[in-house]
Homo-oligomer: A and B are copies of this chain.
Amino acid sequence: MNLRDLHYLVAVAELNHFGKAAEACHVSQPTLSAQIKKLEEELGVSLLERTNKQVLLTDVGRQIVMKSQQILDSVDEMRELALQHKDPESGTFHLGIIPTLAPYLLPLVMNAIKERFPNLKVLLYELQTPDILKRLPAGKLDAALLALPVEHSALKSIPLFDEPFFAAVPYKHKLVKQKQVSPTDLVGNDVLLLEDGHCLRDQALDLCRKVGADEVEGFRATSLETLRQMVASGHGITIVPQLAIGSTPSRMKQIRYLPFVNPKPSRTIVISIRHSSHRHYLALELGKIVGSRIEAVVGNKLID
C-alpha cells in the first residue's frame, strides 16, 4: 500500500469520476485505475462500483475512504510538525550547567539569550560534571556549560572563557595584607573545599597538591555558598572562581578575595555538545553570547 494510492482513492470518491480524479492527481487515467485496482486487490474488497456513467462507493469503500482521509490528514499534520521545527533556532534546548557556574553566570546571560533566540525554549539543568557526562552523551541534554577537562570522546567542547581563581580569606586573615597571593601562600592554612563531584574541588585540590597545601580534614561543602559561609566564619580559606565573587563588593564583607600572581590559575569554561549533534551552530551561538556578555559585564576580559 502507498499513500499515493490513498490520494487516488479519495480523489475518485470525491469526484465520482476516474478521469477527473486522475487529472486532479496529475496522472493519467489508466495509471490511477491501475493503482485503485491494486489497492482493492491488496485489501481484498471492492471499493468502487464503476460503469461508464457513474462511479459508486461500496459500503466498505465508504469506510476505507474515510480511513484514508484520516491517514492523509495525519500525514499533513506530520509535515506541519516538521515545518514547525525546520527553524534551527526554535524548539527546546536542554542545557546543563555546573553548580559552581550556574548561579553566577546565568543572571548575566539569560536575557541576552532570550533576546537572540526568541523562539527557543532553553531548559536549564544545574548538574555536576559527572551527571552531565552521563546525560549529555545519552541525549538527555543538548549541550552543557562546564569546566575543562571534559573527558568524553563523544563530546566536542568549545572554550568560551578562562575564569581566574581567587583566594577567599576572612577579613582578619594575615594574607589580607597582601595585594596578591601565590599558591605557596596556601601552605599552612586550613583550606576548605567542596564535596566530591564538583569539578571545582578537583581544580582547587590540584592547585594545593602542586605546592603541598593541605585540605582541612572532615569537612566538605555541598555548595560554593556554604563554603563561603565557612570562610566568613573564620574556619579557613578557600579558592573561588571570579564570577562567584560577584560584581558588588559590598556582598559578604567578612571575606576578601585576593588575586593570584601570574601565571594566574584559572579554569576554562566550555560549552560541550555531542559530535553527532545537529545543533552545533546553536551551541556556538550560545557560546558567543556567553563570551560577549562576560566581556561586557566583567569589565574587559576574563581572558578569552
Indicate if A38 sits at the interface (CB-CB under 8 A): no
Distance A247 CA – B51 CA, assembled complex (angstroms): 43
Whether the Cβ atoms of B58 and A92 lie closer than 8 Å is: no
Q: Which of B1, B53, B57, B83 contacts A154 (CB 8 A)?
A: B53
Q: Are B71 and A85 in contact (CB under 8 A)?
A: no
For the complex formed by this chain, how many copies does it contain in all? 2
Q: How far is the CB of A28 from chain B (nearest CB, A)?
A: 21
- Asked if A46 is at the interface (CB within 8 A of a chain B CB), the reply is yes
CB distance B81 to A63 under 8 Å? Answer: yes
CB distance from A273 to the nearest CB of B (A): 11
Q: How far is the CB of A1 from chain B (nearest CB, A)?
A: 6
* A79 / chain B contacts, CB cutoff of 8 Å: 43
Residues of B within 8 A of A92 (CB): 59
Helix, strand, loop or mixed for chain A's interface? mixed
Q: Give CA–CA (A125, B291) in the complex, Å.
A: 81
| A63 to B85 CA separation, bound complex (whole angstroms) | 10
Interface size class on chain A is: 35 or more
Cα–Cα distance between A58 and B91 once the two chains are bound (Å): 11
Q: Which residues of chain B have C-beta atoms less than 8 A from A78's C-beta?
A: 43, 64, 67-68, 71
A54 CA / B57 CA spacing, docked (Å): 49
Whether A83 lies near B3 (C-beta < 8 A) is: no
Stretch with Cβ within 8 A of B (4 or more), from A180-188, A275-283, A292-300: A275-283
Task: Establish whether residues A71 and B75, one from each chain, have CB atoms under 8 Å apart when the complex forms.
Answer: yes
Residue of B nearest to A46 (CB): B278
Set B43, B85, B277: member contacting A60, Cβ < 8 A: B85
What's the Cα separation between A50 and B43 when bound, in Å? 37
A276 to B61, CA, bound (A): 15
When distances are taken between beta carbons in the complex, the residues of chain B under 8 Å from A74 are 67, 70-71, 74
Query: Using a CB–CB distance below 8 Å, which chain A residues touch chain B?
Result: 1-3, 43-46, 49-51, 53-54, 56-60, 63-64, 67-68, 70-71, 74-75, 77-79, 81-83, 85-86, 91-92, 137-139, 154, 274-278
